[in-house]
Chain A
């Protein structure tokens, strides 16, 4: 455990470091948990993607989870790999690079496409390369169904691709709505609604018009600086956005195609670079944590874990309102370095586990537990 990491007390829960995964030769940008298998991927300015496997330890004295490096994908990207995303099947990995390309990685399936033969250490091949962005790609995301892939870039565009068999892709839309660098794309957890966040301080929401093309149906304004990261709530009713203005805003879906600002979370001293919204493991009975846990991190090196729920409005007791409280906090999570991303593990049974990537090149895995 890093000696500089500081645990903050007086919270109902603590954040315990489970593993520090070193190996990247430059800053680590992003991490992605495989949704179906015990695998964690990380990417870095060193142009590689590192894969780690994890398993419950059999040694009673050792930590309960053991992480081990499985393989490193050299990628071949000419510049930094800024983001990684697993497809919902867990078989395909997408990389977004500053070389303006999106790589799609998978392992060669044997004749029957048998799953039993899965060996994550075997070679990961670049099955497809999605070109079209003019400049640095910043983020990539698969839709819940895995049928669509979205990417965004400093070229101010958001692209939507349809995933076809044999790792073939068809461009479904090039969305030129933002006036600046697009930092992040995120899909709704169940529907084909896409959100993007930008240096132009706004969030755009898009849907497909079956007769026509993808289009922006709403722009969410409110942040006073760059919006760095987006996360839908697991139930899909809320969207969280993290900004350079040090705040996190929560937006509620009030109609099918209408989202409204409802609350702001303040708990950071600098830019909030990354947020992740997981199901969490409620600390006490009742529905206080019914909306799950939101983890946030950024330039101040702090990780906050917020418990979100629906409760009574303080102003009008007859109305429901969003409730939120910080349940756990870590300062200097990566020492003096910025923390670039935070991601909850999506797998059942691991809802209290998240990973971070920092400018120190390290990837860390953390567990939230009651104090």
Chain B
């Protein structure tokens, strides 16, 4: 099995690892040949390409030999485990497993593009590529580390766009931030629905497929809490195949949609059956490649991302809004989405921050709300509380929670607060676990009020640190006594005093964190100007003009994609549409989850 070269994880230690219990049976697809009674025993040979052959040993009377072509060889099928097999099996709690990934790789993309017949052909598939902002940040950080001037996300987007269009032949290149904008709008709408009693609280973010997969396999009791809003990748899939497709006069199966993601688990997400269009036998996203695989594509084609392209600093506003100022490098596209909408908050999608902004903005007295944050042990677990200044009433309590360890604690806390049993069900057999009355003072009640919302991400530091991101640039790295690569000077250590060092891995690990910080910084470096300042306390933050334009554009998309009947006034995302349109909205922007039953057989484990 040929794995893509990018498929090697960095030494991150907080990822969910493959399970020993992968018990996918290997199905034999070779048709059994009619048994030749004369052919006694056979043996298996492996040739230089790694192919397996079954070879007759005594070689008497086989057809091939009679024809004089040497010993009879039969090529054997290589057992393959597809993404769907993995999704259907509870054996693995997966994140970035190499076996899963052969179906969606940069080689697959190249293969598709090479075999795509040219446009006049009726078999021509319209190739489109959408890139996540975290992937752009990873590329930007990598470029910046080897250049004197920091490279902005816009510059990276422009350069990658030119590569994808001119070298690879993609028709359109997008970033996924407008899809995220829609995801955030729908997400806020869903939160309001749950708040009003339609569904459970706290609502848990659904954009991280690692977390969703983990919950489906091991914490089915969490599924009702997970937001049913599609992730930005899948919203992008819907926009490309349903909305843009219509504009381009293409059916969904005539479009080949590739996304570039910071995360391997996005490949799993794209292959979920929920995102498969039965009518056209196509997926919303046909192939997901990681940032690392995009870099491989560029390497394969000899593209140097450090070389500027024309007009790479000129932002592009959607011409559809009559504000057209398209740079010449960007082909005039009447359907161009607003680009690089960097929602303030976190680099993992700002789900919590955008919800806080929405709640604040819609409060009767926004100025009276006060936002406080509390760091729970590390920056990967922070609590946000919106309190009314005068009444001290807690209006909203949310948290962002990144990494497998924090995820464990959130699952426990949510389970406890909501009174649901946590885990695979063994708890039910242990008497007394839930029957206990916990004595707590009244003062603790307000403090311990459960969460309304949690932005959950499986990776520590969130998506900028995804498993598919580029590795840190290795510069003047030296190897320490334990073979760990490290940079002594950067660690603040002068050479020659190694004996007095604290435990070596501290610095080795610290290097990774430092790299993640650089990617985080690059993420906020949208334009060649200083990064946006964090939103002022209690003030609606996403009403800056790019976001207003995006809201307007989103309203237009909603009206057209749901074929909504005209309403009085302008259609906004929260506008209540006619029933048919509402049900289309539901289908297009929401999804569902299902628990995967554990099939792990209790094999006789002696010790």
Chain B associates with chain A = yes
**Residues on A close to B: CB < 8 A?**
75-79, 98-101, 103, 125-129, 131-132, 134-136, 138, 154-157, 166-167, 169-177, 183, 207, 209, 211-213, 215-218, 256-257
Q: Which residues of A contact B504 (CB under 8 A)?
A: 217
Partner of B431, one of A98, A125, A174, A177: A125
Taking the closest CB of chain B, its distance from the CB of A107, in whole angstroms, is 11
Partner of A155, one of B15, B20, B429, B607: B20
Partner of B605, one of A98, A167, A169, A216: A98
Partner of A212, one of B17, B502, B503, B509: B509
Contact code string B173-191 (vs A, CB < 8 Å = 1, else 0): 0000000000000000000
Are B423 and A154 within 8 A (Cβ)?
no
Contact code string B477-519 (vs A, CB < 8 Å = 1, else 0): 0000000000000000000000000111110010001000000
Given A78-B429, A215-B505, A218-B503, does the pair A171, B405 have CB atoms closer than 8 Å? yes
Are B13 and A207 within 8 A (Cβ)?
no
Given A76-B431, A129-B426, A174-B404, does the pair A217, B607 have CB atoms closer than 8 Å? no
- Taken together as a complex, chains A and B put the C-alpha atoms of A317 and B433 apart, in Å, by 60
Given A166-B438, A212-B509, does the pair A131, B422 have CB atoms closer than 8 Å? yes
Q: Which residues of A contact B378 (CB under 8 A)?
A: 211-213
Residue B321, interface by CB 8 Å: no
Give the one of A101, A174, A218 with max B CB within 10 A: A174
- Taken together as a complex, chains A and B put the C-alpha atoms of A151 and B504 apart, in Å, by 25
| Given pairs A78-B429, A209-B509, 15 additional interface contacts (CB within 8 A) | A76-B429, A78-B426, A99-B426, A126-B432, A131-B422, A136-B605, A170-B412, A172-B405, A173-B405, A176-B13, A177-B13, A183-B607, A211-B378, A212-B378, A212-B509
Are A131 and B427 within 8 A (Cβ)?
yes
Are B430 and A217 within 8 A (Cβ)?
no
- Taken together as a complex, chains A and B put the C-alpha atoms of A173 and B13 apart, in Å, by 10
Residue B424, interface by CB 8 Å: yes
Are A215 and B509 within 8 A (Cβ)?
yes
When C-beta atoms are compared, the residue in chain A nearest to B510 turns out to be: A212
Contact code string B340-384 (vs A, CB < 8 Å = 1, else 0): 000000000000000000000000000000000000001000000
Are B405 and A213 within 8 A (Cβ)?
yes
Residue B34, interface by CB 8 Å: no
- Complex A-B, nearest 6 residue pairs according to Cβ-Cβ distance, in ascending order: A217-B503, A131-B423, A125-B432, A171-B408, A257-B503, A76-B430
Q: How many residues of B contact A (CB 8 A)?
A: 41
Residue B409, interface by CB 8 Å: yes
Q: Which residues of A contact B19 (CB under 8 A)?
A: 134-135, 155
Are A77 and B438 within 8 A (Cβ)?
no
Are A77 and B430 within 8 A (Cβ)?
yes
When C-beta atoms are compared, the residue in chain A nearest to B15 turns out to be: A176
Q: Which residues of A contact B17 (CB under 8 A)?
A: 156-157, 176
- Taken together as a complex, chains A and B put the C-alpha atoms of A153 and B431 apart, in Å, by 24
- Taken together as a complex, chains A and B put the C-alpha atoms of A135 and B93 apart, in Å, by 12
- Taken together as a complex, chains A and B put the C-alpha atoms of A217 and B509 apart, in Å, by 11
Q: Which residues of B contact A177 (CB under 8 A)?
A: 13
Residue B436, interface by CB 8 Å: yes
When C-beta atoms are compared, the residue in chain A nearest to B438 turns out to be: A166
Q: List 7 A-B contacts (CB under 8 A).
A: A127-B432, A131-B423, A134-B19, A135-B21, A154-B605, A209-B509, A215-B509
Q: Which residues of B contact A156 (CB under 8 A)?
A: 17, 20
Taking the closest CB of chain B, its distance from the CB of A97, in whole angstroms, is 9
Are A209 and B430 within 8 A (Cβ)?
no
Given A79-B602, A166-B438, A213-B14, does the pair A131, B424 have CB atoms closer than 8 Å? yes
- Taken together as a complex, chains A and B put the C-alpha atoms of A132 and B605 apart, in Å, by 19
Partner of A103, one of B430, B509, B605: B430
- Taken together as a complex, chains A and B put the C-alpha atoms of A207 and B504 apart, in Å, by 12
Question: CB within 8 Å of A: which of B398-419?
Answer: 404-406, 408-409, 412
Taking the closest CB of chain B, its distance from the CB of A299, in whole angstroms, is 11
Taking the closest CB of chain B, its distance from the CB of A239, in whole angstroms, is 16
When C-beta atoms are compared, the residue in chain B nearest to A171 turns out to be: B408
When C-beta atoms are compared, the residue in chain A nearest to B21 turns out to be: A135
- Taken together as a complex, chains A and B put the C-alpha atoms of A273 and B509 apart, in Å, by 34
Are B430 and A129 within 8 A (Cβ)?
yes
Taking the closest CB of chain A, its distance from the CB of B395, in whole angstroms, is 26
Are B409 and A170 within 8 A (Cβ)?
yes
Q: Which residues of B contact A171 (CB under 8 A)?
A: 405-406, 408-409, 412
Are B423 and A135 within 8 A (Cβ)?
no
Q: Which residues of B contact A183 (CB under 8 A)?
A: 607
Are B423 and A101 within 8 A (Cβ)?
yes
- Taken together as a complex, chains A and B put the C-alpha atoms of A169 and B429 apart, in Å, by 20
Partner of B14, one of A76, A127, A155, A174: A174
Give the one of A126, A128, A166 with max B CB within 10 A: A126
- Taken together as a complex, chains A and B put the C-alpha atoms of A339 and B404 apart, in Å, by 37
Q: Which residues of A contact B409 (CB under 8 A)?
A: 170-171
Taking the closest CB of chain A, its distance from the CB of B510, in whole angstroms, is 8
Q: Which residues of A contact B460 (CB under 8 A)?
A: 213
Q: Which residues of A contact B15 (CB under 8 A)?
A: 176
Taking the closest CB of chain B, its distance from the CB of A359, in whole angstroms, is 10
When C-beta atoms are compared, the residue in chain B nearest to A219 turns out to be: B482
Q: Which residues of B contact A216 (CB under 8 A)?
A: 505
Q: Which residues of B contact A209 (CB under 8 A)?
A: 506, 509
Q: Which residues of A contact B436 (CB under 8 A)?
A: 125, 127, 167
When C-beta atoms are compared, the residue in chain B nearest to A173 turns out to be: B405
Are B433 and A138 within 8 A (Cβ)?
no
Q: Which residues of B contact A103 (CB under 8 A)?
A: 430
- Taken together as a complex, chains A and B put the C-alpha atoms of A248 and B307 apart, in Å, by 61
Are A217 and B505 within 8 A (Cβ)?
yes
Taking the closest CB of chain B, its distance from the CB of A259, in whole angstroms, is 11
- Taken together as a complex, chains A and B put the C-alpha atoms of A125 and B605 apart, in Å, by 28
Are A215 and B14 within 8 A (Cβ)?
no
Question: CB within 8 Å of A: which of B577-607?
Answer: 600, 602, 605, 607
- Taken together as a complex, chains A and B put the C-alpha atoms of A212 and B503 apart, in Å, by 14
Q: Which residues of A contact B432 (CB under 8 A)?
A: 125-127
Q: Which residues of B contact A135 (CB under 8 A)?
A: 19-21, 600, 605
Are A131 and B426 within 8 A (Cβ)?
yes
- Taken together as a complex, chains A and B put the C-alpha atoms of A138 and B436 apart, in Å, by 27
Contact code string B414-458 (vs A, CB < 8 Å = 1, else 0): 000000001110110111110010110000000000000000000
Are A129 and B433 within 8 A (Cβ)?
yes
Give the one of B404, B430, B503 with max A CB within 10 A: B430
Q: Which residues of B contact A170 (CB under 8 A)?
A: 409, 412
- Taken together as a complex, chains A and B put the C-alpha atoms of A210 and B273 apart, in Å, by 43
Given A76-B429, A127-B436, does the pair A207, B607 have CB atoms closer than 8 Å? no
When C-beta atoms are compared, the residue in chain B nearest to A205 turns out to be: B503
Are A134 and B93 within 8 A (Cβ)?
yes
Given A207-B503, A215-B509, does the pair A129, B423 have CB atoms closer than 8 Å? yes
- Taken together as a complex, chains A and B put the C-alpha atoms of A78 and B598 apart, in Å, by 15
Taking the closest CB of chain B, its distance from the CB of A256, in whole angstroms, is 8
Give the one of A127, A176, A207 with max B CB within 10 A: A176
Partner of B430, one of A75, A100, A213: A75
- Taken together as a complex, chains A and B put the C-alpha atoms of A189 and B460 apart, in Å, by 31
Q: Which residues of B contact A101 (CB under 8 A)?
A: 423, 426-427, 430
Q: Which residues of B contact A132 (CB under 8 A)?
A: 408
Taking the closest CB of chain B, its distance from the CB of A45, in whole angstroms, is 10
Q: Which residues of A contact B509 (CB under 8 A)?
A: 209, 212, 215
Taking the closest CB of chain B, its distance from the CB of A337, in whole angstroms, is 14
Are A126 and B13 within 8 A (Cβ)?
no
- Taken together as a complex, chains A and B put the C-alpha atoms of A183 and B607 apart, in Å, by 8
- Taken together as a complex, chains A and B put the C-alpha atoms of A170 and B438 apart, in Å, by 17
Q: Which residues of B contact A207 (CB under 8 A)?
A: 503
Give the one of A99, A134, A216 with max B CB within 10 A: A134
- Taken together as a complex, chains A and B put the C-alpha atoms of A318 and B576 apart, in Å, by 89
Q: Which residues of B contact A79 (CB under 8 A)?
A: 602
Q: Which residues of A contact B406 (CB under 8 A)?
A: 171
Q: Which residues of B contact A213 (CB under 8 A)?
A: 13-14, 378, 405, 460
